[in-house]
Structure 1
Amino acid sequence: MLRARLQHVLWLGGGSGAGKSTVARRIAARHGLHVYATDDVMPDHARRSTPGDSPRLAEFMAMDMDERWVNRSPAVMLETFHWFRGESFHLIVEDLLRLPREPRVIVEGFRLLPRLVEPLLAAPGQAVWLVPTPDFRRAAFESRGSLWHIAGRTSDPHRALRNLLARDEMFTRRLHEQTRRLTLTAIEVDTTTTEDDLTRRVTEAFGL
């Protein structure tokens, strides 16, 4: 049973720019955990996917940058983005099952949709989602210098950025709604939240 085979795994999901990677690395360093970052394996998962199991990914890969980020509404971008629909999530599970059970694993990334993670939990305390406010998300991207990373490669960067930020806000709301419905733990992250405070709250939620 997958729940038993993954009971050594801690899941840290949430919206883009919420601080998942930073918090995961800090917790891992403090408690001797192995970090599995889902962003890092996206190129590998894209290669391992097929049009049959990831049709939205195939459509996305065939688009140019304007088709992806400028010419569609944020709502359409949300509904058709492959990772937001859970495509290739099974490859995350396959990877985790190949890892040794010691040290324990903390897996992080926006691809950890509550509806897909919940059936894999031996206990609710294995999973936490970070829910950033729009102001926090924009400030986080600006501080990293990545605010225009995608939008700047389109013919209309300002429109693309508005679309991206609106799409990400809708996605974050959806994550929050799913965690409430499934009675899973979500932590709001706003501009007053420090890394130390967020790391402490996530550590406590995991029971470490």
Structure 2
Amino acid sequence: MAEVVNTAALRARLQQVYWIGGGSGAGKSTMARRIAAQHGLHLYATDDVMQDHASRSTPEDTPLLSRFKAMDMDERWVNRSPQIMLETFHWFRGEGFGLIVEDLLRLPAETGVIAEGFRLLPHLVKPLLVEPWHAIWLVPTPKFRRAAFDSRGTTWGIPHMTSDPERARRNLLERDQMFTDRLFEETKRLELPAIEVDTTMTEDELAEQVTHMFKL
């Protein structure tokens, strides 16, 4: 009973939060910045607090993160299969999500918030939603994601810190595609809103869709 009460209290406290999750390269950050600016909402980017969350974590709370920290770059990105990389990557498994909730609870209750990032996993966010339309997941097609990554340039800094940049790059692409596919399947299973983002969709069109679904 206490857990039910606590979840209900969290939902009430976080009812001003709009959540944008999704796969890498889907435009989450762009949409969140744009919509937050247009509607006077506070922007909370989970990517920006990853280092802080890692420093606040304990090995007991985040065992996968602790193992990841102990690996060198080749162990992380070259020597393991994309499947193993997917299954053991701490943020993909929800480690540290409680710290996201703690951060959001510290924000003024009267201020609307847009929280965005790949760490917002559907099964973790759903229990916190007063309304299902307060969350959306952006799911990029492989072509869109590849174009987004190629346009960034610096996104591929990680592979170049390994002994085999091309293999690391392939591993990262495959791992992230599997993660994106898993997210899409999870949104469908949990009956949560998702938008498939492809190269035919303009930024304005995507922003309009997300804003409409948020009923802003």
Residue number among 99, 116, 130 corresponding to 1:91 in the alignment: 99
- Normalising by structure 2, report the TM-score: 0.95
Identity among equivalent pairs (%) = 73
> Partner amino acid for 1:149?
G
Q: Which runs of 4+ in 1 moved over 6 A?
A: none
Question: What is the correspondence of 1:47-196 to structure 2 with a 5 Å cutoff?
Answer: 47-196=55-204
Answer 1 or 2: which has greater helix percent.
Answer: 2
Match of 1:9 in 2: 17
Q: Deviations over 1:107-142 (max 9, x none)?
A: 000000000000000010100000001111111011
Q: Which runs of 5+ in 2 are unaligned?
A: 1-8
Q: Pick the aligned partner of 2:52 from 38, 44, 47.
A: 44
Classify the secondary structure of the residue corresponding to 1:110: coil
Q: Secondary structure at the match of 1:172?
A: helix
Q: TM-score, normalised by structure 1?
A: 0.99
Work out the number of aligned pairs and report it. 208
Uncovered stretches (5+) of structure 1, i.e. residues with no partner: none
**Distance in 2 between residues matched to 1:93 and 1:103, nearest whole Å:** 15
Residues 62-107 of structure 1 show CA distances to partners (whole Å, capped at 9, x for unaligned) of 0011000000000000000000000010000000000002320000
Contact 1:138 1:147 in 2 (8 A): no
**Structure 1 residue 146: deviation in Å?**
2.8
Deviations 1:142-173 (A, max 9, x none): 11113421111111011000000000000001
The structure-2 alpha-carbon separation of the partners of 1:159 and 1:76, relative to structure 1 and needing over 3 Å to count, comes to: same
